[in-house]
Amino acid sequence: MMPKLILASGSPRRKDLLTEAGYDFQVIVPDVEENEDVSVPIRQLTKENAELKAEAVSPANTDAVVIAADTLVLLGERVLTKPIDGDEATEMLASLNGKSHQVFTAFSILHGREGKRVLETVTTDVHFKLLTEAEMIEYHRRINPMDKAGAYAAQEHGKLIIDRIEGSMTNVIGLPMRKVAEILESDFGIVPTLR
């Protein structure tokens, strides 16, 4: 019998990705404060936050496999988290305009009772179109940039702003599904059942 799967995330995008892939799972939003110290190297920061979320949910659900993730944007040496207000969202989108950046998603998969844990990071290159100020305003009018690292969403009107993506599209959305599916099956015996 497959263990129960729990998504330790309040992200509707991660929930959608697991649902679309056919997984049977429960959502438990972890009660944690993410580390947003951008002086910490991005790979370390995303891993720490993913582990923090998984470890917040696992102790009360030791029979379940808990998956948590953290996604951040790297533009040159600058780490972009979620914007704190509309002005910062506008500034973030302008800073990405016409440039290439990387999206880092770390995910932690944890089975408390078995003491099994996998922590991985996937990186995707995203190349933005060169947009006019009016086009950037229109894009932000169509989406809510406030809960998204870098103040954009590849899955929401992404064609308006993104020229091309090299690597995993689902990684940019918030969970690299091909890698996650491989590990869930090989290490935890969980496969999609709701197709």
Q: Give the residue numbers annotated as catalytic, written as ranges.
A: 70
Question: Distance between CA atoms of 48 and 23, rounded to whole angstroms?
Answer: 25
Helix, strand, coil % over all residues of the chain, rounded to 5: 40, 25, 35
In the three-class reduction of DSSP (H, G, I as helix; E, B as strand; rest coil), residue 178 is classed as helix
Contacts of 64 (CB under 8 A, 6+ apart): 3, 4, 5, 6, 26, 58, 111, 112
Q: Which of 94, 75, 101 has the alpha carbon at shortest distance from 145?
A: 94
Place of tokens 């997984």: 23
Chain Cα centroid distance, residue 11: 8
